[in-house]
Amino acid sequence: SATPSLESYFNAQQNKYGYVFLDERFGGIELPAIEIINTRQVAQKGKVMISPQLKEAMQHAFDNDRQVILFQNRRGYNPYLICSSCGYIPQCTHCDVSLTLHKYSKKLHCHYCGSTYPVLVACPACGSNDWLEKNFGTEKIEEQLEEDFSKNKIARMDVDSVRGKTAHDNLIHLFEQHRIDVLVGTQMVVKGLDFEKVSLVGILDADGLLSFADFRANERAFQLMEQVSGRAGRKHAQGKVLIQAMNVQHPVLQFVQQHSYENFYQFEIVNRKEFFYPPYSRIVILTLKHKDKSIVTEASEKLATLLRQDLKELVIGPAPPVIGRVRNQYLMEIMLKLPKEPGMSMTYKKVIRNHINLMQSEKIFKAVHVIADVDAN
């Protein structure tokens, strides 16, 4: 893999895994040239989906009988705030993850420790009061492209537009035959596709990848951007990648531009160690479910209190997950950051199980369902 998981690379550095390094691209093809486009100015004008630079590059590709792939992060369903003047994104002071805007509470929430913050009026970085809620998807992009490039054939590849293997294969076949000029896609376009005439790849919202409320956000963003960049110039010539972002100084963007996994790893491993995230710990997420919101909230608080008797500061939360209700079941989460101590796995498992049983022994909490996700992703 050109983008192994941080844990896998860490284990290779510790000689727990074998490590083989491929120092050139298959066939000797050059890695694509990557340009980062600052979208702050177009965002302030209300036009942020496709920048003028990207439109110009797309037209150049079409004029030279080439094709284009545009990638949009599917995780953009959850709104986040970004300063339109400087690109600042509010983050939790305790967890090093971005905060999520909740409309119902009119507050910014950390989905890791449960901390809440008032919605910012002025940006703490530059003082501006111009905030944007970032959220646009592949369907909206497809419609915009059909207006901007009415003479070209546009197609969309995501789970909504490609249902079933036949539909997926048909779309790939049409693109291979160059009966489609632009393929707009989610993660479905990232890996395993090799098209001879694709000369340009556009990543439309790098900020969305980097702002997701998850300690692995940087890792996933680097992996996705590096992988989708590899779709450009696969056959005979160097390709080009344009990455749209407002926070253009973000270190991860610089590492993607350098095609440097090693530099990314050295940067990210420091953060993981400081905040005691994997590979320095094991993450266990306990998800509690119940049809009554007040009951599941009380149950999660009770369970967290019980767990802290043995696990102390290793217990974080409870807090609602990004999606707080699924199929009429309300959800609450408790995170456990457990040290990787030899022989302690069974001890931790027993402690967790005993406290879950104790919580559920109370009549009011008997119907609360608890799911444990070990080494949670």
Q: Count CA atoms within 13 Å of residue 203 on its CB side.
A: 35
Neighbour-count burial for 148-181, b at 16+ CB within 10 Å, e otherwise? ebeebebbbbbeebbeeeeeeeebbeebeeeebb
| The two structure tokens encoding residue 136 | 């646009």
Q: What pLDDT score does 79 carry?
A: 54
Residue ranges of the chain that CATH labels 3.30.70.600? 281-374
Q: What pLDDT score does 277 carry?
A: 92
| The two structure tokens encoding residue 324 | 């707080």
Edge-to-edge order in the sheet of strand 240-245? 33-38, 240-245, 198-203, 67-71, 182-185, 154-157
Distance between CA 198 and CA 234 in Å, rounded?
A: 8
Q: What pLDDT score does 367 carry?
A: 96
Distance between CA 371 and CA 309 in Å, rounded?
A: 20
Q: Would you put residue 343 in left (φ > 0), alpha (ψ -120 to 50) or beta?
A: left
Contact 339, 347 (CB under 8 A): no
Distance between CA 349 and CA 338 in Å, rounded?
A: 11
Q: CA gyration radius for the chain?
A: 23
Q: Which residue has the tokens 């419609």?
A: 143
User: What is the number of other CB atoms lying within 10 angstroms of the CB of residue 25?
Assistant: 15
pLDDT tens-place string over residues 20-36 = 776 666 566 778 899 99
| The two structure tokens encoding residue 277 | 């995230």
Q: Count CA atoms within 13 Å of residue 4 on its CB side.
A: 17
Q: What pLDDT score does 364 carry?
A: 96
- DSSP 3-state of 178: coil
Residue ranges of the chain that CATH labels 3.40.50.300? 6-77+135-273
Q: What pLDDT score does 316 carry?
A: 94
pTM over 0.75: yes
pLDDT tens-place string over residues 3-23 = 888 888 888 888 888 777 766
CATH number belonging to domain 6-77+135-273: 3.40.50.300
Contact 111, 331 (CB under 8 A): no
| The two structure tokens encoding residue 202 | 């556009």
Share of the chain above pLDDT 90, in %: 48
Low pLDDT (below 50) residues in the chain = 75-78
Q: What pLDDT score does 248 carry?
A: 92
What is the number of H-type helices and E-type strands within the chain?
Answer: 11, 16
- DSSP 3-state of 205: coil
Q: Count CA atoms within 13 Å of residue 86 on its CB side.
A: 11
Tell me, what amino acid is at 8? S
The DSSP element (H or E) to which 195 belongs, if any, is none
CATH 3.40.50.720 at 281-374, yes or no: no
User: What is the number of other CB atoms lying within 10 angstroms of the CB of residue 295?
Assistant: 16
Q: What pLDDT score does 25 carry?
A: 61
- Helices (DSSP H) in the chain: which residue ranges? 6-13, 40-44, 52-63, 138-148, 165-176, 206-210, 217-229, 251-258, 261-274, 293-311, 345-360
